[in-house]
Amino acid sequence: MSLTEHELEIKLEEVEDPDIGEDIVSLGLVNDVTIDDKTARISLAFNAPYAPSELELGNRIRDVIEDAGLEADLRAHVGEEHGFDDEVLPRVRNVIAVSSGKGGVGKTTVAANLAAGLEKRGAMVGLLDADIHGPNVPQILPPESDPGVTPNEEIVPPRSDGVRIISMGMMMEEDDDPAILRGPMVNKFMMKFLEGVEWGRLDYLIVDLPPGTGDATLNLLQSMPVTGSVVVTTPQEMALDDTRKGIQMFNKHDTPVLGVVENMSSFICPSCGDQHGLFGTSGADSIVDKYDVPLLGRIPIHPDFGADGSQGALVKDDDSEVQSHLEDVVGEVADRIGEQNRRTVSENVTHEPANKLPTETED
């Protein structure tokens, strides 16, 4: 006898979300189950494309379906009914804010490599350089063309090695020209970047925020549905103090902090291989413990990473000693996005366990 759709849904209760600790059916992550000619078509409320944890969940779901003697056809769908905003940036699945409490900690380099790393995994990615006064993204990811303009006067971002980017740096005649702008003009450019860019369909939009907790960051939090923030710090106590303030700001605006990236965490001697904590050791651990946020990764000091001003994202450079550290950060960020989105679904979708049979009602 062939398996019914209800019986298959019961079998899917064997698949547990590794981050939340409950099965995917009870969490409301299974939108629909249909069986047609030995093919099980499953619609899943997943929203973090190419996140390692969701890819693994997909593999486990396929195993359950194949054990039942069926072919698996998995698809992902989320919408307003799952708790996601369909009005602001409706074609952008996830907005990730990359921030730092102070300048000089490598925030832009982390943001650019995060964008390039997600694109490398197969995602459609955009990178918004929202640091109006210090627009350095084009130095790392040089645009392949000038920005375009739609008939509706929306900016069309050019690409850089597959990543769609927009930056104030593209608007300057010379690379060394300063952006001498007062607050109202900064806000005007920010709102144009937030509301007047035609990104197309994106899995992830990375926003490189200016350092600190000023107007630009507040405008973003008030104007965009930010999925979560990544906070970049270095081990020095002064940087950690400002990082704590940044985390508090996100908490006050109900923006999930996905975790902390500790940059310049150590120096690895190229001659002897010894590791030295030039700016202290394990400084980010105090933040992780106090605010109960994940440590997304530690990136060592290396001439490749932000020191020589070379162009290109090292996460795509197979010869770089830093690549593996960056790939770990990219995977952790994607997993935390996936976990955050699945928790959003579970909070907005009520789903009765599949093994609970429907009760008969009297006429």
108 in a known ligand binding site: yes
Confidence (pLDDT) at 177: 45
Query: What are the distances in angstroms from CA 347 to CA 25, 28, 178, 343?
Result: 13, 9, 46, 6
Confidence (pLDDT) at 335: 97
| Rounded Cα distance, 315 and 327, in Å | 6
Query: What are the distances in angstroms from CA 19 to CA 109, 128, 328, 336?
Result: 28, 29, 17, 9
| Rounded Cα distance, 71 and 3, in Å | 12
Sign of CA dihedral 206, 212, 216, 219: positive
156: tokens are: 């069309």
| Rounded Cα distance, 110 and 312, in Å | 12
The pairing of beta strand 295-301 with beta strand 275-276? unpaired
Mean pLDDT by 10 residues, the chain (363 residues): 87 95 96 94 97 97 95 95 87 93 85 97 95 80 91 92 88 51 59 83 94 73 88 80 84 90 76 63 75 89 62 87 93 97 92 56 41
Confidence (pLDDT) at 363: 39
Confidence (pLDDT) at 85: 85
40: tokens are: 């099980």
106 in a known ligand binding site: yes
Confidence (pLDDT) at 360: 44
Q: What are the structural domains of the chain?
A: 5-83 (3.30.300.130), 92-339 (3.40.50.300)
With residues binned 3-state (H G I as helix, E B as strand, rest as coil), the percentages for the chain, rounded to 5, are: 35, 25, 45
310: tokens are: 């070379």
173: tokens are: 């005649």
102 in a known ligand binding site: yes
259 in a known ligand binding site: no
Return the bridge partners of 76, or none: 44
How big is the chain by its Cα radius of gyration, in Å? 22
Closest C-alpha to 172, from 154, 195, 187, 189: 189
Contact 127, 193 (CB under 8 A): no
Determine how many CB atoms are found less than 10 A away from the CB of residue 144: 11
Residue-wise DSSP of 14-38: TPBPTTT-SBTTTTT-EEEEEEETT
pTM: 0.89
Residue-wise DSSP of 56-78: HHHHHHHHHHHHTT-EEEEEE--
Confidence (pLDDT) at 31: 96
Confidence (pLDDT) at 24: 96
Query: What are the distances in angstroms from CA 63 to CA 12, 40, 58, 115?
Result: 10, 12, 9, 31
361 in a known ligand binding site: no
Q: How many CA atoms lie within 13 A of 162 on its CB side?
A: 19
The packing angle between helices 107-121 and 323-348, to 10°, is 80
104 in a known ligand binding site: yes
- Tell me, what DSSP letter sits at residue 50? T
283 in a known ligand binding site: no
| Rounded Cα distance, 80 and 173, in Å | 42
312 in a known ligand binding site: no
Return the bridge partners of 301, or none: 267
